[in-house]
Structure 1
């Protein structure tokens, strides 16, 4: 799935699949797999949910010219985000389970 990102986009979300590889010495390392650029978090989340794999979403903003962690998808399908005030991981609510 390829999405066209507008040239003047102020935010770009990068969804990246997390995979592991084993080095010849037996050390397991985490490497990036498939990636998709999106204009919304919903599209990035749908990409990783569609693959059914763990991964992460980062966001690039035009104003700061920086990329920051946004949310992580764990292997069990739950989504977690970093609470920047406390430095802890907090679960993201599932919008389909809201009333």
Structure 2
């Protein structure tokens, strides 16, 4: 699924699949897998849910020109979002068909 990002987008969400690899010395490292850019969090969330894999969503904003953590999908399928005020990860409600 490809998403066209408008040139004047104020916000872009990056959904990235998390995978692990084993180095020759036996160390397990976390690496990025498939990725999709979206204009909404809903699309980014749907991408990872459709793959059924753990991953993360980051958001880039035009104003700050920075990319920040936004939400994570855990291996069990649950979602957590970063609360910017406390710095803690808080659970997100399950997506329903109406939300998606």
TM-score, with structure 2 as normaliser: 0.93
SS in 1 for 2:59: strand
Q: Which runs of 5+ in 2 are unaligned?
A: none
Which residue does 2:54 correspond to in 1?
Answer: 54
Which residue does 2:2 correspond to in 1?
Answer: 2
Provide the C-alpha distance between the structure 1 equivalents of 2:75 and 2:96, rounded to a whole number of angstroms. 19
Provide the C-alpha distance between the structure 2 equivalents of 1:89 and 1:66, rounded to a whole number of angstroms. 20
TM-score, with structure 1 as normaliser: 0.94
Please list every run of at least 4 consecutive aligned residues from structure 1 whose deviation after the TM superposition is greater than 6 angstroms.
none
Provide the C-alpha distance between the structure 1 equivalents of 2:61 and 2:86, rounded to a whole number of angstroms. 23
| 1:91 is aligned to 2:91 | yes
Q: CA deviation at 1:82?
A: 1.3
Q: Which runs of 5+ in 1 are unaligned?
A: none
Which residue does 1:16 correspond to in 2?
Answer: 16
The aligned runs of 1:18-33 (5 Å cut-off) are 18-33=18-33
Provide the C-alpha distance between the structure 2 equivalents of 1:23 and 1:88, rounded to a whole number of angstroms. 31
Provide the C-alpha distance between the structure 2 equivalents of 1:85 and 1:32, rounded to a whole number of angstroms. 27
Q: CA deviation at 1:77?
A: 0.4
| 1:71 is aligned to 2:71 | yes
Give the number of equivalent residue pairs: 98
Q: CA deviation at 1:87?
A: 1.8
SS in 2 for 1:20: strand
Provide the C-alpha distance between the structure 1 equivalents of 2:63 and 2:46, rounded to a whole number of angstroms. 26
